[in-house]
Amino acid sequence: MYAFHLYEPYLGMPQENHAHYEAGNVFRMAPGLQGKLLLIGGINDTGTQADLFRMSETLVRSGIQHDMMVYANTGHGAFGQTGEYNMQLKRDYFVKHLLGADPGVDR
């Protein structure tokens, strides 16, 4: 999926700046990723949903384990109770996998 509003303001037109688009191709970089990976998206996100699932599939085909959360009835931003849940999920993930601590201690 090509989401022009995500790339063109920063990289220009793909036809004029092909090298920058290739250098920033996260799918090409995916096989080299290491560590714990968490992908998060909303099922109603029309801007990045295809990229979310494409990245997951790229990781699977590269044999890279990853975690993924897809929120129902959520677009490109999670708000209200879903937003609070999402923030807690990310906090817990970072505490557990970056700090090596029990995320439930400070709740």
Tens digit of pLDDT for each residue in 30-79? 999 999 999 999 999 888 889 999 999 999 999 999 999 999 989 888 89
Domains of the chain: total: 1
Q: What is the pTM of this model?
A: 0.81
Q: Is residue 38 part of a domain?
A: yes
- Specify the CATH number for the domain of residue 52: 3.40.50.1820
60 lies in which domain range?
4-99
Q: What is the pLDDT of residue 18?
A: 87
Please check whether residue 81 lies inside any domain of the structure.
yes
b/e map 13-36, b = 16+ CB within 10 Å: eeeeeeeebeeeeeeeebeeeeee
Q: What is the pLDDT of residue 106?
A: 57
Show the tokens assigned to 70.
């897809």
The count of C-alpha atoms lying within 13 angstroms of the C-alpha of 28, restricted to the half-sphere facing its C-beta, is 5
Q: What is the pLDDT of residue 94?
A: 95
pLDDT tens, residue by residue, 89-106: 999 999 999 999 999 865
